[in-house]
């Protein structure tokens, strides 16, 4: 069954004749007759009484309301897709890691809302792995996450690197590790840590670093927001490994201290720690969407805004030059 057959059938019913239906559709009468005959052949029954004024058979009367609904749905679908590609999108959904949502996205969101006031913008703070999953499931249009090459290598994914930042140690101002300007890995491993929950890219990267060095990560508590990390670490016992952008407020807090982490620390039996082959601990933040979504004007515009403005927002933060002890 083809849409053209249903449209021909409806045209004949609405006009009352094959000739008028052909004029209405802008085709020949024989073309209308062939479409209706093909539909009747597929259904195995006559749909119309061919009299001076065409009338429905019982089967035709049964088909009529369903044919109308099918054609109406098709016309609505065409309109919806046309509107979507013209930028008339009802909403745009974004998933982003917490540090991005709290520190860098607000001015970009404001700019987008000014440019597309009719598009409802929905932003959800999620871990990197979870954000990429909901993107793949079609629940969001775009994700701003820590890069995970195992989840972003699909051919239909578009990945743009936004920035790379160091990972540092957050501790209380009176913690024993404050004696170090740069904390050695073996010293780091002596203390219990607050870590990100499962599904967060930071949890994975920290665990991988400890595994590579053959030392145990003493994970005492799982959290998922920068303010929660600060509140717990401030108590004095626990430490946390956090990316630079998540430490913006911690740099201004005299009860907290921040230290860099020593490069190296990889140990092969019978050798000394390998410093040269182990670069500084960092994370790369990327923006991910799918190629088909970038054909939709509001999504492309938001993607462009983030790519252009978010790295500038990060560079404006005076983090690296801030005092380590707040």
DSSP letters for 212-278: HTT----EEEEE-SHHHHHHHHTTSS-EEEEEGGGGTTGGG-TTEEEEEE-S--B--TTS--B-TTS
Q: In this predicted structure, what is the pLDDT of residue 325?
A: 35
d(CA 92, CA 263) in angstroms, rounded, equals 41
Confidence of residue 194 (pLDDT cuts 50, 70, 90): very high
CATH topology for 91-163+285-316 is: D-Maltodextrin-Binding Protein; domain 2 (3.40.190)
Helices (H), the chain: 3-15, 18-25, 29-43, 58-85, 98-103, 105-115, 128-136, 185-188, 201-212, 226-233, 297-316
d(CA 138, CA 93) in angstroms, rounded, equals 10
Residues 6+ away with beta carbon under 8 Å from 31: 8, 22
| Proportion of the chain above pLDDT 90, given as a percent | 48
Domain locations in the chain as residue ranges: 3-85, 91-163+285-316, 166-282
- Domain 3-85 part of CATH 1.10.3720.10: no
Q: What is the dihedral of CA 126, 130, 134, 135, to 10 degrees?
A: 90
Q: Look at the block and give the residue holding tokens 């959800």.
A: 124
Widest Cα–Cα separation across the chain: 101
Q: What is the pLDDT of residues 207-235, one digit of tens each?
A: 888 888 888 899 999 998 888 999 999 99
- Domain 166-282 part of CATH 3.40.190.290: yes
Q: In this predicted structure, what is the pLDDT of residue 314?
A: 77
User: Is 180 in a helix, a strand, or coil?
Assistant: coil
Q: Are 87 and 79 in contact (CB under 8 A)?
A: no
Sign of the C-alpha dihedral, residues 218, 131, 115, 296? positive
d(CA 130, CA 132) in angstroms, rounded, equals 5
Looking at every residue in the chain, the average pLDDT score rounds to 86
Confidence of residue 167 (pLDDT cuts 50, 70, 90): very high
Query: What is the pTM for the complete model shown?
Result: 0.72
Q: In this predicted structure, what is the pLDDT of residue 320?
A: 44
Q: What is the pLDDT of residues 2-48, one digit of tens each?
A: 888 889 888 889 998 888 888 888 899 899 889 999 988 999 999 99
CATH topology agreement for domains 3-85 and 166-282: no
d(CA 223, CA 195) in angstroms, rounded, equals 6
Gyration radius (Cα) of the chain, Å: 31
Query: Dihedrals φ, ψ of 77, to 5°?
Result: -65, -45
> Residue 322 above 80 pLDDT?
no
d(CA 325, CA 179) in angstroms, rounded, equals 11
d(CA 135, CA 291) in angstroms, rounded, equals 12
Helix 18-25 × helix 29-43 angle, to 10°: 110
Confidence of residue 265 (pLDDT cuts 50, 70, 90): low
> Residue 179 above 70 pLDDT?
yes
């Amino acid at each position: 069954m083809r849409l053209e057959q249903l449209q021909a059938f409806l045209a004949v019913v609405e006009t009352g004749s094959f000739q008028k239906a052909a004029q209405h559709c802008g085709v020949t009468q024989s073309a209308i007759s062939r479409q209706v005959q093909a539909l009747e052949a597929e259904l195995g029954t006559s749909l119309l009484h061919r009299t001076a004024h065409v009338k429905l058979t019982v089967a035709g009367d049964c088909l009529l309301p369903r044919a109308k609904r099918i054609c109406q749905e098709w016309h609505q679908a065409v309109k919806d897709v046309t509107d979507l590609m013209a930028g008339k999108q009802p909403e745009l959904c974004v998933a982003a890691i917490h540090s991005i949502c709290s520190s860098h996205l607000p001015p970009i969101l404001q700019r987008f809302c000014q440019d597309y006031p009719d598009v409802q913008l929905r932003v959800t703070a999620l871990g990197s792995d979870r954000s990429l999953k909901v993107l793949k499931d079609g629940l969001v249009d775009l994700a701003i996450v820590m890069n995970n090459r195992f989840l972003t290598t699909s051919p239909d994914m578009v990945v743009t690197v936004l920035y790379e930042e160091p990972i540092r140690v957050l501790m209380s101002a009176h913690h024993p590790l404050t004696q170090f300007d740069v904390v050695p890995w073996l010293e780091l491993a002596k203390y219990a840590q607050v870590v990100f929950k499962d599904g967060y890219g930071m949890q994975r990267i920290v665990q991988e670093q400890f595994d590579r060095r053959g030392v145990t990560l003493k994970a005492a508590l799982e959290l998922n927001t920068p303010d929660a990390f600060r509140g717990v670490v401030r108590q004095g016992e626990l430490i946390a490994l956090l990316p630079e952008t998540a430490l913006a407020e911690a740099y201004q807090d005299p009860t907290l201290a921040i230290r860099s982490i020593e490069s190296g620390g990889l140990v092969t039996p019978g050798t000394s720690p390998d410093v040269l082959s182990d670069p500084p601990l960092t994370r790369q933040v990327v923006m991910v969407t799918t190629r088909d979504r970038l054909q939709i004007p509001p999504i492309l515009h938001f993607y462009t805004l983030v790519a252009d403005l978010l790295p500038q927002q990060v560079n404006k933060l005076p983090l690296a030059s801030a005092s380590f002890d707040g």
